[in-house]
Structure 1
Amino acid sequence: MDPLAPLLDLADVADSLAAARDRVDAAMRHRALRRHGGQVAAEASLRAAVASAALEGHPYDVEEIRGGTVTDPVVQGSLRVAEGLGGLVDLWPRAPRQVLAKLHVLAARGVVPADDLGRLTGGADRVDALARLVAGNAETPPLLLAAIVHAELITLRPFAGPAGVVARAAARLTLIGRGLDPRGLVAVEIGHLAREPEYVGSAGAYATGTPDGLRSWLRHYAAAVSTAADELAVIGDGVLAAA
């Protein structure tokens, strides 16, 4: 049985997640993906990395980062994480703790002392529980599981430095590995950044553990995914215009 199924009974949650999935499915039919899928994926990955760094308090214009002039270590870490996601998809459901450590090494190199890379600073029991939830879980719908992965890690911040980058990447791995976004095109980080006050507020609400707090976060996550799906269409239009 799906251990998270009761969350779908919270008001508006199931409908919000279903609507977000429909938006993703529609975006995946964009004609740019037929011949220019690689370009679209690269652009989505870049924008996701820029947004994730911004959510950690390191905002830069995407064109600055595209030009290679930004040396901010948090930005560079976010870019390394985005580049490394593809190589971690298969390992994520088999060894979640190992993947989280790898993500932290990528994200935090040059930000925290070398001895702290990949090492938990707290919340080990809850991280273990999350790892058990992820490992081999084929029952929980991908959007719901990704939302909980993200929320748990952003609440715990179990790593030193840019732990939020790790949380957002782990959620993306869930969406990719569970087949909702197999090509890694849906840059949910863009949706979180576009709704940043709501993102911060709903994450705080989730941390209370109340039904209303959980509902607030899940509805935000669905909205962020919908925004990211719309952004995918914008990226696709831009690639076609430049072709």
Structure 2
Amino acid sequence: MSTTSSDPLSALEALPGVADAVNSVRKAVDRVYGHRVMRRRSNEVTAEAALRGARGSAALSGADWNLEEVRRRTDFRGDGETATMGAALRLTAEAGQLLSIWRQSPLRVLARLHLVAAGGSTPEGAVGRPRLAGEQVDEPLIEATVPGLQEMAGRLDGLSRLVMAGSSAPALVTAAIVHGELLALRPFVSHNGLVARTAERIVLVGSGLDPKSICPAEVGHAEQGRAAYVAAFEGYLSGRPEGMAAWIAHCGRSVELGVRESTAVCEALQRGAA
């Protein structure tokens, strides 16, 4: 995305449908935060949202497990789907520890996220750093051409500068762009999708939109399905205004579906307490 504006993200709010998506998300988030259960049992809702968010993110990376199986398991060591699920759970737990660092050093946070996700399943020398020449990217679902090293490094630095500079853009817009750009760049040799969705969560929480982390967008991304996720992402990759708007709207709908999930959790807790 190229623009001469000092706040390039702010211009995206003017794209068709984006303001409506932002307003819809804000209203949905306000509703779940106003639920009576949130006054007394918000920690339980946060914990459940983390579990369901991790399950959703892992599903998009090829580990589509039943929620009860995720809840039952205690050992996520292994290869394939088990390792993916374990990585998603570790990332969700780690995200809350990195909120204070994100705006000061987003690249440091991304390196930490990759280290947390890939440790034990990726060659040690490739963990926690951007990919090097000749290294292949293993990313389930996303088949778009991987940018070359020079383009990747330049755009990653640009994204970092945008985050550090801050923006007047709504949290949804910033989160969608961070998510989309990391997915487009795939800066690591593995686990890029999991890292990108965790970064989206960090933006939504750190911005104050979802301070208790109870609106897991990952749930909504998974619920809309892998085909819809890829189609929306292709809109982002196109760079065209309508494609960017569609991606932001897709991310907004994902947050709203995450809100719906946590609202159901609140209702279940309320019934149990009655």
Report the TM-score when normalising by structure 2. 0.85
Q: How far 1:113 moved relative to its partner?
A: 0.9
Partner of 2:130: 120
Residue 13 of structure 2 contacts residue 169 of structure 2 at CA under 8 Å; is this kept in 1?
Answer: no
Quick check: 1:220 aligned with 2:250?
Answer: yes
The Cα offsets for residues 223-243 of structure 1, whole Å up to 9 and x where unpaired, read as 111111111101111222333
Aligned to 1:143: 172
Match of 1:94 in 2: 104
> Paired residue for 1:170?
199
* Letter of the structure 2 residue corresponding to residue 242 of structure 1: G
Provide the residue aligned with 2:40 in structure 1.
35
Deviations 1:170-209 (A, max 9, x none): 0110111110011111100001011122211010121111
1:214–1:237 Cα change, 3 Å: same
Equivalent residues in 2 for 1:1-243, closer than 5 Å? 2-68=7-73, 71=76, 72-121=82-131, 122=149, 123-196=152-225, 197-243=227-273
Deviates more, 1:63-72 or 1:226-235: 63-72
Higher Cα radius of gyration: 2
RMSD (Å) for aligned C-alpha atoms = 1.3
Give, in whole Å, the separation in 2 of the partners of 1:60 and 1:240: 27
Deviation at 1:114, TM superposition (A): 1.2
1:92–1:99 Cα contact (<8 Å) kept: yes
Offset at 1:27? 1.1
Q: TM-score, normalised by structure 1?
A: 0.96
How far, CA to CA, are the matches of 1:240 and 1:79 in structure 2? Answer: 26
- Whichever residue aligns with residue 135 of structure 1, its letter is M
State how far apart, in whole Å, the 2-side matches of 1:237 and 1:136 are: 40
**What is the one-letter code of the residue matched to 2:36?**
R
Percent sequence identity over matched residues? Answer: 39
1:133-169, Cα deviation, whole Å (9 max, x unpaired) = 1114042221110010001011111112211010001
User: Which of 13-22 and 133-142 deviates more?
Assistant: 133-142
Within 1, Cα distance between the matches of 2:216 and 2:124?
29
Q: In structure 1, what is the equivalent of residue 145 of structure 2?
A: none
Q: Distance in 2 between matches of 1:55 and 1:160?
A: 17
